[in-house]
Every structure is written in C-alpha cells, then in structure tokens.
Amino acid sequence: MLKVTNLKVSYGSLEVLHGITFQVNPGEIVAVLGANGAGKSTAISAVSGILPVRGGKIEFSGQDITGRPADDIVGMGLVQVPEGRRIFPGLTVRENLDLGAYLISDKKHKQESLAKVLDIFPKLKERRNQKGGTLSGGEQQMLAIARGLMARPKMLLLDEPSLGLAPIIVDRIFQVIQNIRQSGATILLVEQNAQRSLEIADRGYILETGNIVLEDTGKALLVNESVKASYLGA
C-alpha cells in the first residue's frame, strides 16, 4: 500500500534521512522505531507531503505521490495524525473533528464519519462541546486520532501517539490503534516506545540517525539482542 524507496530529506544543507527504504502492506501495522532525533517525524512528514523530498520515491496504492501536495495525499486516503498536542486548543472537540473532514463535501458522509468516530471515542462524545485545550493529554491524543479518522483514511500515519502519556492511557491508545486496524485501515506507527509498538506491530524498522539499520517482524524484533539492548531497556 505504501512503498518508500531511497527517501532522502534535508533541512537546508543538513541531510537527516540518507536514503531509507520501507514498505507497508494492506492491513498491516508497521512500526518505525528510533531514538529522539533519528528522523522518524521527518520520514512521515515527507510521506504525507508536508516536507519536501530531496531524493527517492514514495508510492501509495500504486501511484507515485513523491512531491504531491499534502491535501492531494489526504484526498487519496493517506492521513497523518500529528503528536497529540497539535490539536486546536481554542476550538471545541466537535470543531476539531469537523476540520478533519474538510475535504469531504457531502454532508451525509460527514455526519456518518462523526457518528462512527464518536462511537469509537465515547469520552469525546461526552466532551464534544468542550474546548480541545481543556482535555487531558490522553484525551487530546484521542482527539488527534479521531480527527484523522474523520478523513476516512485507507492508511494512518501516527506520529508518537504515546508520547508523554501515563502507562494506563498508553494501554488505551495502543488498544485503539488495534481497533482501527481491525476496522480496515492500515497503520504506520512512528514511536519511541519500542516495547508497546512491537507488541502490536506485524513488522518493524529500526531507524538510526537517518538510516534504517534493521527490519523484521514485530515478534522477531522483540527478542532481537541488539534491539533489546538499545531500545527495550534489557
């Protein structure tokens, strides 16, 4: 569904992705893991058209999307969910959700998406008239994911959904990610929390300072000695 080949991205003259190659098959959860600054957020922002690409190729559903504008890419069903605090704090939950569906013109489709998303996130239903900024960190992350789902994605790119959240909330977030996959969406998950990610991922890639150094199934990476030593605190 997503095929990234030899992707290079720079900030000015500083190259931070040095030609990475990875792919995500339909229905998979794939994790890209790496330490702070490895280039994870850069990789997904390049895939979603937010950052310019210096080299390489990005294909989605068989089409070359390299260099395509971000809203075209959302329209094709590839939707990035930014880290949770990037919701609009001054807008209500409902208004934040409506913004997720900005490319959907059919009112009935919008209503259906909203009803579906509020079913998945009952807390957001309760708080739909509350300002986004008054939600807890976990709820803001849920809102960010819910807003992404409003666009009816074929594939979600999740940027560090567990960042800064208490373990019990992290459990809920990872449960929601599995539910979303069960409902038919494909997921690319970019995370520092290697343990939790590999537990739910079909496959994973390890990104170190702009290079992919290892790829395998989630199960195999969980027991890989170097992954254990560097990322699993063992």
> Do the bridges between strand 155-159 and strand 78-81 make them parallel or antiparallel, or are there none, so unpaired?
parallel
Question: Which residue number, 113 or 197, has a Cβ lying nearer to ligand ATP?
Answer: 197
Q: Which residues, other chains included, contact 163 with Cβ-Cβ below 8 Å and sequence gap of 6+? A: 83, 84, 192
CA quadruple 152, 106, 104, 147: dihedral, nearest 10: -60
Indicate whether 42 belongs to the interface with ligand ATP (CB under 6 A): yes
Side-chain-side CA neighbours of 145 within 13 Å: the count stands at 30
CB of 185 to ligand ATP, least distance (A): 22
Instruction: State yes or no: residue 41 binds ligand ATP (CB under 6 A).
Output: yes
Q: From the CB of 133, what's the least distance to ligand ATP, in Å? A: 22
CB of 34 to ligand ATP, least distance (A): 5
- Minimum CB distance to ligand ATP smaller for 16 or for 124: 16
Verify binding: residue 39, ligand ATP, rule CB under 6 A.
yes
For residue 198, count other CB atoms closer than 10 A to its CB.
Answer: 25
- Find the binding residues for ligand ATP in span 16-35 (CB under 6 A): 16, 34
For ligand ATP, which residue of 2, 24, 30, 40 counts as binding (CB under 6 A)?
Answer: 40
206 forms part of the interface with ligand ATP (CB under 6 A): no
CB of 24 to ligand ATP, least distance (A): 18
Give the residue with the Cβ less far from ligand ATP, 36 or 105. Answer: 36
Helices (H), 51-188: 70-75, 93-100, 107-120, 122-126, 137-149, 167-182
3-class secondary structure, 219: helix
Residues 153-192 binding ligand ATP (CB under 6 A) are 192
3-state per-residue secondary structure call for 116-136: HHHHHCHHHHHCCCCEHHHCC
Q: Cβ 35 to ligand ATP, closest distance in Å?
A: 7
CA distance 196 to 232: 10
Q: Does 141 bind ligand ATP (CB under 6 A)?
A: no
Which residue type sits at 184?
A: G
Q: How far is the CB of 88 from ligand ATP (least distance, A)?
A: 21
* Cα(28)–Cα(43) distance, integer angstroms: 18
Residues that bind ligand ATP (rule: CB under 6 A) add up to a total of 11
Residues binding ligand ATP (CB under 6 A): 11, 16, 34, 36-42, 192
